[in-house]
């Protein structure tokens, strides 16, 4: 092989390797030998340590101030991607069968990770450009696009995302979240965490709750040590006309006292719960769906 041909082939292989999707952040410390000179600068340069690699983590200056308040994706009817739904595909030596039909109330448990700057602006498997500050995610086999709620088991926070990409191709992980979605459920600093993924559709209605006892029926709006703060938010919710907000006193997580838990509901069906959640988001009020 001539030297010119050799270097042409080498460049082609390198380009293919860089274009492949890969999961981000496994929660393990990053050794100093893997850190670039930029990554070894002060922590303020990194918006989410312990993943200081600038290929993945945006800098603090690049992240919107209210990224954790980004509104959820809203499930809607969309045609399936012509390019993102082959019968099967291969990634990292494994073959995956793409689902043609999704069972109603589809639910999956496993690990979630996130991916960020390295793929920002690149084309997703769905054909759309990846935006790490939008509410999107990647899944190995669900049809593209699919809407789903992802709930952090450790803290109960949840987010609704549009699945428009493929991955993560790491054992045990079921979903790769965008940077914004990971921020919303407090995943950035952990690399990966246990989650519950539930597929959503615009027409679920009351079936999403009534036929599944474990589905959320309330929106938890906040937990407070100071009753005065809780009552002030309760009065604000009343002015929004979202129904009665109830205040309950519960033992706090530390076990050394009580806290005030403010929640809205119960909602008659899933659609109404989502409508209330979306309206709260427009007021910069974050709410987490919870079961009875």
What burial class does residue 30 get, using C-beta atoms within 10 Å of its C-beta: 0-12 exposed, 13-18 middle, 19+ buried? middle
Cα–Cα distance between 92 and 169 in angstroms, integer? 7
Q: Of 77-91, 211-225, 250-264, which one has max mean pLDDT?
A: 77-91
| Domains delineated in the chain | 32-200 (2.40.40.10), 209-290 (3.30.70)
Q: Which residues contact 6 (CB under 8 A, 6 or more apart)?
A: none
Cα–Cα distance between 211 and 180 in angstroms, integer? 31
More confidently predicted of 149 and 268: 149
Whole-number pLDDT of residue 141: 95
Let me know the angle formed at the C-alpha of 75 by 70 and 99, rounded to the nearest 5 degrees. Answer: 120
Cα–Cα distance between 276 and 281 in angstroms, integer? 9
Whole-number pLDDT of residue 14: 37
The pLDDT tens digits of the residues spanning 173-223 come to 999 999 999 989 988 877 788 998 989 877 543 334 334 444 557 888 888
Please count the other Cβ atoms lying within 10 Å of the Cβ belonging to residue 3: 7
Whole-number pLDDT of residue 59: 65
Whole-number pLDDT of residue 135: 94
CB 175 within 8 A of CB 106: no
CA-derived radius of gyration, the chain? 21
Residues belonging to the chain: 292
Whole-number pLDDT of residue 56: 67
Q: Which residues contact 54 (CB under 8 A, 6 or more apart)?
A: 36, 38, 39, 46, 117
Whole-number pLDDT of residue 269: 67
Question: Which of 273, 76, 281, 72 is closest to 183 using CA atoms?
Answer: 72
Question: What are residue 110's DSSP bridge partners?
Answer: 195
Cα–Cα distance between 184 and 194 in angstroms, integer? 15
Q: For 216-231, give one letter per residue: b (16+ CB within 10 A) or e.
A: bbbbbbbebeeeeebe
Q: Are strands 173-177 and 158-165 parallel, antiparallel or unpaired?
A: unpaired
Whole-number pLDDT of residue 203: 58
CB 109 within 8 A of CB 120: no
- Strands of the sheet containing 288-290, edge to edge, are 245-251, 258-264, 218-224, 288-290
Report how far Cα 182 is from the mean position of its chain's Cα atoms. 5
The pLDDT tens digits of the residues spanning 152-166 come to 888 888 899 999 999
């Amino acid at each position: 092989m001539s030297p010119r041909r050799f270097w042409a082939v080498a460049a082609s292989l390198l380009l293919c390797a860089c274009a492949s999707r890969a999961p981000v952040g496994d929660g393990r410390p990053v050794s100093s030998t893997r850190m670039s000179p930029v990554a070894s600068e002060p922590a303020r340069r990194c918006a989410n340590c312990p993943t200081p690699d600038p290929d993945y983590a945006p800098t603090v200056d690049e992240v919107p101030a209210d990224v954790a308040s980004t509104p959820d994706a809203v499930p809607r009817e969309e045609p399936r991607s012509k390019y993102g739904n082959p019968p099967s595909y291969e990634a990292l030596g494994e073959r995956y069968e793409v689902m043609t039909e999704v069972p109603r109330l589809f639910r999956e448990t496993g690990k979630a990770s996130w991916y960020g700057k390295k793929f920002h602006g690149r084309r997703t498997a769905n054909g759309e450009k990846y935006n790490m500050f939008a509410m999107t995610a990647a899944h190995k086999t669900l049809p593209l696009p699919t809407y789903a709620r992802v709930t952090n088991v450790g803290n109960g926070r949840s987010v609704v995302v549009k699945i428009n990409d493929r991955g993560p191709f790491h054992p045990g992980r079921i979903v790769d979240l965008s940077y914004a979605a990971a921020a919303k459920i407090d995943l950035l600093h952990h690399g990966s965490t246990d989650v519950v993924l539930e597929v959503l559709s615009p027409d679920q209605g009351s079936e999403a709750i009534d036929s599944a006892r474990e589905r959320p029926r309330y929106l938890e709006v906040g937990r407070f040590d100071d009753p005065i703060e809780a009552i002030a938010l309760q009065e604000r919710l009343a002015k929004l006309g979202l129904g009665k907000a109830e205040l309950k006193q519960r033992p706090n997580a530390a076990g050394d006292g009580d806290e005030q838990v403010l929640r809205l509901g119960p909602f008659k069906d899933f659609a109404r719960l989502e409508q209330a959640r979306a309206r709260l988001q427009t007021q910069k009020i974050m709410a987490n769906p919870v079961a009875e």
